[in-house]
Amino acid sequence: MNETERLRVMIVEDHFVVRTGLAAIINSQPDMMTVAEARNGREAIDLYREHQPDVALMDLRIPLLSGTEAIAAIVKEFPRAKIIVLSTFGGDEDIFQALQAGARAYFLKDVKGHDLIGAIRAVNAGQRLLPPEIASRLAERIPRSELSPRELEILRLIAKGGSNKEIANTLDISEGTVRVHASNIFAKLGCNDRAQAVSEAFQRGIIHID
């Protein structure tokens, strides 16, 4: 099989060892090859535009632009882009946001090599794939009103240990307003207090540790 017939794959991953391992797995297949490797979200967009691969493997936690932001930008420019998320994050919000951005499949990084290769071929053929454990987490996503941008901002400050007064000073709003937002956050997450809300938000991928 010559190069023009092989399935062309781009890898977006900021960790050298992981990136090299993925490239080795892909290049060991007679019907596919790695055509580009990006280390951050901006590189991902630029290299996708340059190489227009058949399939892209995308990590979510990458520098400059997140994987979800890069997916959205690529799909906006190339609506038929076929992107597989390969992430350590399996929270229902991570999965939901990535699929909303335009990803065709979502796998955790402990996926077996032969399963990943099969997924690349399947997505290239037009399929959308969610392994059972990912589909289950997505199905458990609690139907709720989305957190507003301000609520997300306050939730992140709560996660950093900010008191109502400190958050009010940071955002130049009243403590009463912070309390109202916090109550709304707890209700939407189904939690009773700050610690529970922060734990729930981390587990579900609503916020991440920087």
Domain range list for the chain: 3-139, 149-204
Question: At 153, which amino acid appears?
Answer: E
Mean pLDDT, range 63-67, rounded to an integer: 90
Q: What is the pLDDT of residue 207?
A: 78
123/97: higher pLDDT: 123
Three-class DSSP labels, the chain:
CCHHHCEEEEEECCCHHHHHHHHHHHHCCCCEEEEEEECCHHHHHHHHHHHCCCEEEECCCCCCCCHHHHHHHHHHHCCCCCEEEEECCCCHHHHHHHHHHCCCEEEECCCCHHHHHHHHHHHHCCCCECCHHHHHHHHCCCCCCCCCHHHHHHHHHHHCCCCHHHHHHHHCCCHHHHHHHHHHHHHHHCCCCHHHHHHHHHHHCCCCCC
Q: How many whole angstroms separate alpha carbon 9 and alpha carbon 205?
A: 27
Distances (CA, A) of 192 to 46, 91, 143, 163: 44, 20, 18, 16
**Token representation of residue 16:** 């050298």
**Token representation of residue 28:** 């060991």
Q: What is the pLDDT of residue 93?
A: 78
Q: pLDDT by residue (tens digit) across 76-91? A: 999 999 999 998 877 7
pLDDT of residue 2 exceeding 70, the answer is: no
Question: At 167, which amino acid appears?
Answer: I
Q: What is the pLDDT of residue 76?
A: 95
pLDDT of residue 3 exceeding 70, the answer is: no
Mean pLDDT, range 168-190, rounded to an integer: 88
Which of 3.40.50.2020, 1.10.10.10, 2.60.120.10, 3.40.50.1110 is the CATH number of 149-204?
1.10.10.10
pLDDT of residue 29 exceeding 60, the answer is: yes
With CA atoms as reference, report the closest residue to 3 among 54, 76, 37.
Answer: 54
Average pLDDT over all residues of the chain: 88
Sheet-wide strand order for 55-58: 32-38, 7-12, 55-58, 83-87, 105-108
**Token representation of residue 134:** 């990912």
**pTM, two decimal places:** 0.73
Q: What CATH class does 3-139 carry?
A: alpha beta
Model confidence at 106, in pLDDT bands (50, 70, 90)?
A: very high
Tell me if 3-139 shares its fold with 149-204: no
Q: What is the pLDDT of residue 81?
A: 96
Q: What is the pLDDT of residue 144?
A: 55
Q: pLDDT by residue (tens digit) across 116-175? A: 999 999 999 999 888 888 887 777 665 555 788 888 889 889 988 899 999 999 999 988
Q: How many whole angstroms separate alpha carbon 200 and alpha carbon 197?
A: 5
